[in-house]
Amino acid sequence: MKKNKSKKRILITGGAGFIGSNLVKVLIEQGHEVIVMDNLYSSTKRNLQNYFRMWNFEFIRHDVNLPFTIEVDEIYHLACPASPIYYQKDPVFTIKTSFYGALNVLDNAKRTGARVLLASTSEVYGNPAIHPQTEQYWGNVNPIGVRSCYDEGKRAAETLFSDYHREYGVDIRIARIFNTYGPGMCENDGRVVSNFIMQGLQGNPLTIYGEGQHTRSFCYVDDLVKGLIGLMAYPEYPGPVNLGNPSEISVKDLALKITQLIGLSIQMKMMPLPSDDPARRKPDISLANQLLGWCPDISIEEGLERTIRYFRETFS
């Protein structure tokens, strides 16, 4: 029987996590064969519960810091602790995962000829001195701070990807992902959207770090997944490419929006600002738009409504 070339065998490292499980959903719906590799460091199998009985889904419990060989057409490399609470819990594990995980994934891609996409991050820009951030900007990262295990880890992963591309011709894609939210987020990983929604639903005050004037630009996960799949499919461009929603909002305004959507009057608890917390962040997505025709469709109100519904149904 001839192999249907439009249906691929795809490995997603970190596929049990928030973004990974949303990517699994779309790739399974498209009829691909999907293999998730995850050690469940910052996730559980809950996000994958709908897929275990499917013929085109497979789960492998494995730490990407250890070598592996799997014949696949494409690899989305997402495995890495990603929220400040998880990546600062064991910083040495975080930087090891960023580096050795990337190395093992790249060696597998080199052996098998798979195309491989790195889930990098806007954190490579650090506390940015230019605004909005373009891919040409080299960043402003503290190499010895509490966020460095993640920021510098991802920068090293980008370097390794670029060198495997230049030296061995590995077919790479680098996506620089900006703050993303949506169903499938972990309820206790300390990120601002999940914290505020859980606090609101439980009737607790929302914890605002610093004055709440810091900004982020939040992308709904369905939009991000479209961008990742588009970048993987785009021929011949290694990246990096920014993927995120350019509408910028302060943390305080986000708190107000979430409490309004939940139907509460706002209560806030002011707390100290963590060190090295970037003051502003907003992607310039001209490149993604020009190359992939990609831009986010889902407004923050619509995305937050869907996310609040998910948290209500799943955790209360």
**What DSSP assignment string belongs to 95-128?**
HHIIIIIHHHHHHHHHHHT-EEEEEEEGGGGBS-
| Token pair of 261 as six digits | 């959507």
Catalytic residue among 150, 164, 181, 220: 150
Residues paired with residue 249 on neighbouring β-strands, in sequence order: 216
182 binds ligand NAD (CB under 6 A): no
The distance from CA 190 to its chain's CA centroid, rounded to whole angstroms, is: 15
- Residue 65 contact among ligand UDP, ligand NAD, none, beta carbon within 5 to 8 Å by kind: ligand NAD
Enter the tokens of residue 174: 């680098």
- From 40, 311, 41, select the one nearest 184 (Cα to Cα): 311
| CB within 8 Å of 235: residues ≥ 6 apart | none
Could you give the string, one character per residue 140-179, with x where binding to ligand UDP holds by CB under 6 A and - elsewhere?
---------------------------------------x
Note whether 208 binds ligand UDP by CB under 6 A.
yes
- Rounded Cα distance, 78 and 49, in Å: 19
95 lines the binding site for ligand NAD (CB under 6 A):
no
> Tell me, what amino acid is at 198?
M
Confirm whether 150 is a catalytic residue: yes
Least Å from the CB of residue 182 to ligand UDP: 13
Written as six digits, the tokens of 293 are: 């025709």
Instruction: Give me the residues paired with residue 9 across strands.
Output: 33
| Interacting partner of 64 out of ligand UDP, ligand NAD, none (Cβ under 5 to 8 A depending on kind) | ligand NAD
Q: How far is the CB of 277 from ligand UDP (least distance, A)?
A: 5
Under rule CB under 6 A, residue 99 binds ligand NAD: no
Out of ligand NAD, ligand UDP, none, what residue 177 binds, judged by CB under 5 to 8 A for its kind, is ligand NAD
165-178 core/surface letters (b: 16 or more CB in 10 A; e: else): beeeebbbbbbbbb
42 lines the binding site for ligand NAD (CB under 6 A): yes
Nearer to ligand NAD, 85 or 266 (CB): 85
CB of 197 to ligand UDP, least distance (A): 11
149 binds, among ligand NAD, ligand UDP, none (CB under 5 to 8 A by kind): none
Interacting residue with ligand NAD among 63, 74, 151, 158 (CB under 6 A) = 63
Q: Of 25-33, 39-47, 104-112, 160-168, which segment contacts ligand NAD by CB under 6 A?
A: 39-47
Q: Where do the DSSP E strands lie in 48-181?
A: 57-61, 74-77, 115-121, 172-177, 180-181
Check residue 151 for interaction with ligand NAD (CB under 6 A): no
Q: Is the dihedral of CA 166, 170, 171, 173 positive or negative?
A: negative
Binding mask 250-279 for ligand UDP (x = CB under 6 A): -x---------------------xx--x--
Burial, 106: exposed, middle or buried (Cβ in 10 Å; 0-12, 13-18, 19+)? Answer: buried
Q: By C-beta, is 83 or 259 nearer to ligand NAD? A: 83
Burial 252-279 (b: 16+ CB within 10 A, else e): bebbbbbbebbeeebeeeeeebeeeebe
Active site residues: 150
Residue ranges binding ligand UDP (CB under 6 A): 84, 179, 191-192, 195, 207-209, 214, 216, 251, 273-274, 277
